[in-house]
Amino acid sequence: MFYQKKTNKGLFLFRLVIIQVISMFRYKILTEEVKSDFAFEVHSDTLSELFRGAGIAMMLAMVNVEELESDKTWDFEIKSENLNLLLYDFLGELVFLKDVESILFKDYNIDITENNDYFLKCTAHGATIDYTKNEILTDVKAVTMHKFVLEKQEKEWYCHVIVDL
């Protein structure tokens, strides 16, 4: 299901997914929270699956992830002093790769370790943007720290993220 939203930045078409369960995480697109940006939250039993879910949820702002091909992989690593910055930097790296290499991602294999700092190793699966095959819904320009949350809640991990369109 899709809906349109007219803002001072133009007309945007969003994929409306209220709650989606994929593998070991679930996400919710928060359509009423922000006017001209894109907000989502993710819940997961594991930190790696939370990061995976956040990457997929952010891609949903731009494209129907289910229709993306997954014919290439990209490997990258990120080091950060805390988990909040690690998630922020991970999502920022996805935006950077989209902007510089014209890539959209369908899925991720993520390994997170801690040794004084936090380390993320990611293999991202996706494809070069093909405007003849992929309907681009909007463009994520940046991840914001506005209302950014990453925390352990009792038995699960939770994040809340807003991205700038």
Whether the CB-CB separation of 79 and 89 falls below 8 Å is answered with: no
The per-residue pLDDT of the chain, averaged, comes to 83
Instruction: Report residues of the chain scoring pLDDT below 70.
Output: 1-36
Structure tokens at 123: 């293999």
Joined tokens for residue 19? 């709650």
**Domain boundaries in the chain?**
2-164
Length of the chain as a residue count: 165
Q: What is the pTM of this model?
A: 0.82
DSSP assignment of 13-39: EEE--S-EEETTEEEEE-TTT-SSEEE
What is the spatial distance between Cα 108 and Cα 121, in angstroms, rounded to a whole number? 10
Task: Say which CATH superfamily domain 2-164 falls into.
Answer: Archease domain (3.55.10.10)
- Residue 38: per-residue pLDDT: 84
- At 156 the pLDDT is 93
Helix ranges (DSSP H) in the chain: 47-60, 83-101
The whole-number pLDDT of residue 1 equals 37
* pLDDT score, position 13: 43
Specify the pLDDT at position 18: 36
